[in-house]
Amino acid sequence: SLREKFGDRFVVGVALGGRVPDDYSPAERRLILGQFGGVTPENCMKMTAIQPVEGEYRFDEADALVDFAQGHGLQVVGHTLVWAKDERTPPWFFRDGDGPASRELVLSRMKDHIRTVVSRYRGRVASWDVVNEALDDGEPYLRPSSWLEIVGPGFIAEAFAAAHEADPDALLVYNDYNVELPGKREKLLRLLGELRAQGVPLGAVGIQGHWELDRIPLDDIAALLGELEALGLEVMVSELDLGVVPRGRWWADGGAHREEIARTDPLADGCPPELLDRQAEQYAALFRLFVDRADTIARVTFWDLHDGRSWLNHFPWEHAEYPLLFDRDAAPKPAFRAVMGVE
Ligand code: XIL
């Protein structure tokens, strides 16, 4: 199993959506328990799910996941306390009656949220993705958002301080995507430097790892791992998948061509074997790198259990995807066998 194969080097985890384990078939449960050493809730610990209305916490699904994990000896990653995008934050958070909330109000709501959620799972959730996706993809350093506008850049340090106060033993993570790429990598290092200078209790960086077939920036990933190691930070590959349907054109310039792309579903009838083989080789190359850098990498988490459950089937448009090690029947793909063959 993945757990036996890599477990003494890093935890191999999986993101689970919906209600665990009720929403999973017997074959899926066998896969979870047979292969993985850790779990991340795909959605149920996000602010929009866990506190959709001010003061109304919905802990149901999160409790079920943590109980399941504890009962089976799986590590839990809490994901995520502050997702630095407006559309990922419940609207009430930035409102006060008919007007915008003040800095003080947003900060106190943030601290209450973090305190409530982290202390509930204290000792049972080993690490927290405290802040998610705060870095901008384009020119700006930090992503424009109400977090930034209302609180200022200090919301990041404040979030870490609040999480640390609520559970001093939890490993606290900054999590983001594309941070290995030139441009965003410098911003990540700047952020880590600033947080460190402020004495922020940050223990690890999460590299999401939503890569794409034929476009895995292996050299950039290796370079970033080296830089993070030099800073004494642990690394989590926190949301690994390897989509086979190209998504680059979608992001390239937006606009009308997206409507056209949104109508396409190129692999609706299945994934050709040659693509699955190429995916297998590229997954193996990635795991070779992870094994090489196992001193720095503490965890590698797949973003969803198998192809049929991948978020990429619905993102950024509806189309059949094949990004994981297991197929829609929870059976191993060539990629699984290739990864298991990595020495
Ligand atoms: C995604 C989930 O997989 C989807 O089910 C949900 O609709 C949106 O969020 N970066 C993250 C994850 O940090 O939380 C996202 O998960 C994927 C991108």
pLDDT at 327: 98
43 lines ligand 1 (CB under 6 A): yes
Catalogue all structural domains in the chain, each as residue range(s) with its CATH number.
Answer: 2-340 (3.20.20.80)
Structure confidence by residue, pLDDT tens digits, 25-73: 999 999 999 999 999 999 999 999 999 999 999 999 999 999 999 999 9
**Cβ contact 339:283 at 8 Å:** yes
The CB density around residue 61, as the number of other CB atoms within 10 Å, is 21
ipTM above 0.90, yes or no: yes
* CA torsion through residues 186, 188, 189, 191, sign: positive
Residue 320 Cα to chain centre, angstroms: 21
Instruction: Return the ligand 1 atom nearest residue 17 CA.
Output: 5
Structure confidence by residue, pLDDT tens digits, 184-220: 999 999 999 999 999 999 999 999 999 999 999 999 9
DSSP designation for 217: -
Structure confidence by residue, pLDDT tens digits, 271-324: 999 999 999 999 999 999 999 999 999 999 999 999 999 999 999 999 999 999
**Mean pLDDT, to the nearest integer, of 146-152?**
98
Catalytic residue among 28, 133, 158, 234: 133
CA distance 332 to 231: 37
The CB density around residue 90, as the number of other CB atoms within 10 Å, is 18
pLDDT at 255: 87
Active site residue 28: no
Structure confidence by residue, pLDDT tens digits, 113-127: 999 999 999 999 999
**Mean pLDDT, to the nearest integer, of 12-26?**
98
By most ligand atoms within 8 Å of CB, the mutation choice from 39, 43, 211, 247 for ligand 1 is 43
